[in-house]
Each structure stands twice: as structure tokens, then as C-alpha cells.
Amino acid sequence: MLNAPAISVKPLLLSALMLAHGAVALPAATLERLSMDDLIGKSTMIVRGKILNSYTATSGPIIYTHYRVQTSETLKGTASGVVEIQLPGGISGNLRQTFDGVPQFKSGEEYVFFLWTGKSGSTQILGLTQGLFAVISGGGNDPLTTRAASHEVMLDHGTGRQVKDQTLTMHLSELRARIRGAAK
């Protein structure tokens, strides 16, 4: 009978479990909290509009969904007619990718988009869900706009400490005035 080296099973099992646990991707996003002044100041364009349609494209291992937005009003920057925005995530073939913090759109709904265009030329929503205000229909000439509180981990820029996001609601006229005021 051969003498096998004495191997303790517990440390091997524990190591295997730790490795398997670490290999599992935990869904989480960490965002910097952006104030209204931050959103306005850092945006290259702010538009009011509705999603026309979308398509997906891959770039390396990432799927991006491109949305075409029919603009009805430009609040900052220059936009005419249709603006295309790109967000990570989507479906390509049999593969689906999702990313925390990426807004989900409802067909036919109207939004105010705080947009940022990078050096690559792609336009994105600034701060993910932070840069998207839903326009509540039925508000007459001055509808309400609202941005739901983000459920993602959010850090304060100055302190680096975790903070809790809050829902923001204001009339469209107030949002317009804040944008005009910040531009001065």
C-alpha cells in the first residue's frame, strides 16, 4: 500500500469555496452624487423628448443600446430634431447584459435628459438615472418633472462618504429657470 501525503481536506474546501464566492459577480454600481448644479454644469446638452426607437451594438465584450430621442425642446446646448444616446446593456443574439444604475425607459413616455458627449462622440445620460427626469403628463402647460431616488451606492464628492439619494420633483418651469440661472 502506498503512503499518500497527508492532505487536510478542510483548508482545500475552504479555499475552493472562497475562490468560487469571489468569482461570482455581485451586482452593484457606485455613483458620485450629483447636485442639480452639477447636472446642469457638467451636461453638454439638456433636452426634453421622447424615445423614438432603439438598437443594440457591441463594442468589445459590452453590449450597448442606442436610443434615438425626438427632441421637443432644447434647454442647454444645441440639439435639433433627433439625438442619439448610448447606454451600456441590452440584448444581442442570445446574450443579455444589464448594468446597475442604467435607466429603463417606458415607451411613449416623455423625459428631460441631462446629456454628456465624450471625446468618442457618443452621448450618454449624465450620472445614469440621476440625469433623467420623467415628465408627468396631464400637468397642463407646466407639467411636473420627477427623478426617482437612485438605489445604487452613492458617494458624496467632497467627503467620499456614502449618502442616500432623494427623489426630486419640480414643475418644468422651475427646472427651466434653474438651467437658465446656472448658465448665467
Whether CATH 2.40.50 fits 28-183: yes
Q: What per-residue confidence (pLDDT) applies to 22?
A: 39
Q: What per-residue confidence (pLDDT) applies to 150?
A: 80
Q: What per-residue confidence (pLDDT) applies to 27?
A: 45
Q: Look at residue 144 and tell me whether its pLDDT is greater than 80.
A: yes
Q: Look at residue 2 and tell me whether its pLDDT is greater than 80.
A: no
Give backbone dihedrals phi and psi of 21, rounded to 5 degrees, phi first.
Answer: -65, -40
| 17 — pLDDT class (breaks 50, 70, 90) | very low
* Distance, CA of 23 to CA of 37 (rounded, Å): 39
* Distance, CA of 176 to CA of 75 (rounded, Å): 7
SS (H, E, C) 77-146: CCCCCEEEEEEECEEECCEEECCCCCCCCCCCCEEEEEEEECCCCCEEECCHHHHEEEECCCCCCCCEEE
Picking from 121, 99, 101, 104, the residue whose alpha carbon sits closest to that of residue 44 is 121
Q: What per-residue confidence (pLDDT) applies to 182?
A: 81
Q: Look at residue 71 and tell me whether its pLDDT is greater than 60.
A: yes
Q: Look at residue 15 and tell me whether its pLDDT is greater than 70.
A: no
Q: What per-residue confidence (pLDDT) applies to 166?
A: 86
For 126, residues 6+ apart whose C-beta sits below 8 A from its C-beta are 34, 39, 42, 43, 114, 115, 116
56 within 8 A of 63, measured Cβ to Cβ:
yes
DSSP state letter for 26: P
Q: What per-residue confidence (pLDDT) applies to 56?
A: 94
